[in-house]
Chains A and B, each alone.
Chain A
Amino acid sequence: MPAYILRRLIQSALILLGVSFITFVLLYILPADPVRQIAGRSATAETVASIRSQLGLDKPFIVQYGTYLWNLLGGDLGRSYLQKTEVGALLVSRLPATLLLMVAAIFCELAIGLTLGMIAALYRGRPLDNVLMLGSFVSVSAPQFVVALLLLYVFAVKLGWFPIGGYGTFAHLVLPALTLGILGSGWYSRIMRSSMLDVLRADFIRTARAKGLNRTRVILAHVLPNAILPVIAMVGIDIGMFMSGIVVVESVFGWPGIGQLAWQAIQRVDIPIIMGVTLVSAFAIVLGNLLADLIAPLIDPRIRLR
């Protein structure tokens, strides 16, 4: 086990190194010029050249990347080209909002997904099961921004229950969390349904029924705990999907997290911020996958770590 964890940690570090390299290459070869963005249209060639050398953008690629990595090792993600602030500080100021949204969204996904998946499994093959499974397909096929705008239209514009966007109170959190929750629930409900069906077929359930326990008791005490655990292990993988989704949802709802930060930075070609957000997201994805792999055998001893 310790050897496995060590190997996975080294692998994860290498993956992050790779992500940083590829992102750096992509941003280096891109046709948009950050210096022009900073200097403005009317800048003279001399101003442009001086800004370029100030930012170290006149140096060869390998020197630029080396410097970036070296600073990164010391925890320095560089400075934003336009806001002039430390990228690390910007990320730290934006992360709480994103983490709050993540926790709330995963809670919504699990609450909706597990309940619906459980009901579908108990009514397997009946019309309710078909409707719920169609619903799960609809939720994985729905574009995020459409669901976000729909919830905004119904609950904020028409009913006025929640604010149109922004950050600060619990009411601000509901719609963005619900958007992500509805979209993610389809995935969970399908996993929950098949996990429930697997457990319902197991020998120990037949034994429990045979010794005379009633159906409700069997489901609550024996089926549910065993069916839910493997689904919970999936939350780690879900973090990856979450990181991909926040750009759109945070932009639509004006949620001041790292997704919105990334979108603003992309529009202004603010490379250090784009690098920083990509690395933080990749870190979250790698960490999530690692946790999922480490938790799975704890929950189900039949899964062995290789």
Chain B
Amino acid sequence: MLPIVLLSVFGIVVLFLGFSKSKNILLPATLLFLLVTLIANFVDWNHQYLYFNDMLWGNNASMVFSGIVLLSAFFVVALTRGFEQEGEAAQPAEYYGIMLFSLVGAIMMISYENLIILFVGVEILSVSIYILTGSDKRNLRSNEAALKYFLMGAFATGIMLFGMALMYGATGSFVISDISEIIGTRAWNEQSQLLYAGLLMLLVGLLFKVSAAPFHFWTPDVYDGAPTIFTAYMSTIVKTAGFAALYRLLAGSLASLQDYWFATLATITVLTLLAGNVTAVYQTSFKRMLAYSSISHAGYLLIALTSLTAKSQSSILFYSLAYSLSTVSAFGVLILVSQQQASNNYDAFNGLAKKNPFLAFVLAVSMLSLAGIPLTAGFMGKLFVFTDAAQKGTIWLLVVAILASAIGIYYYFRVLIAAYFKEGDLATIRIAPFYKVVLIIVTTLTIVLGLFPDLVLQLV
């Protein structure tokens, strides 16, 4: 509860800080606030808590999930450098404020006990992201992306809300544990049909948020159109929060119905893996490729969710962390390179390694982690996820995932080929010291977690 209150207050404070003459205070203030929240997040460590009349629930796992979200928000905010590049139309205070508010939504999605809170969380997060997507007001692509995201997102939330209503109709409760209890009293074929319809609609709404196929069509346009820093923000935070919410829903209340939703989710998983990976191959823009890659990573995370074994939660947790870290560093490099080259294409990276070996190395580690090469966090994440599928016994799902990850190598390595093997005229890029520190931390974490994954896993 504490992080939610703190983030709301800090958001308002940041908004008013924007009236002060010096804009330089905003970035350190926001980072400080995020740090304070990150610490406050772990106040209830080793306690299972229920707050607000059993509306919010939490344990160590949900705190670590919130921690991942806050940490990636910290890194992304650290990479903004006060939005200095955006010109006078920028409203840095509002961006920071909205980012902080959106985190409130994310944490609600992670630790809800009542479906209403889930809905409120999803709405807070989504509305914030709609605004951030359209924040580049003069850019037609950005406007288009925001409108597209808003319209589709509004539909998805509507469907989700309908689903919740139907589930309420079937069980008479919004509370996760109550629903679980009520479902547990009946055999799966005696359940009310409303429950199944409601579950499906609820899943559709949440799967839309994490961009699983066939609800992924907004992703490339929105990721491409939004300012790069906000693309990084939404691709890490929305995904982590969305999967935490999905896990909470499926494990917390619907685990006994796995036979029922397994086929649906497995189909969606396969579709997501194929759609993400195959389409990513044909992209010429690095940013758009990252959008498709985020779809494919949603697919890998869905494998753990579909299997729903005893260790699915830790798999999802570790995978989200690994994915968030690599994505932040990939976008961090992209921001610098695209500023220099005014392009997001692979060609923009030509010859990066010659004059900027540090950036090339950061990019390489992040791509290797996303591709799942050993000694990076991404590999361990994939291993855990695959293990879940094997434990459930769905070898065919495993085979699809493995083919998909082999395809993944091809497009992740394209940017490395450009950076290392191609000739280019990229000049030395000046990196602000703080920016460099963030990239170093993220890259180091990626490698350390690849070597010692139990550092994080023993927390849960």
Asked whether A and B interact, the reply is: no
Seen from chain B, the residues whose Cβ lies within 8 Å of a Cβ on chain A are none
Seen from chain A, the residues whose Cβ lies within 8 Å of a Cβ on chain B are none
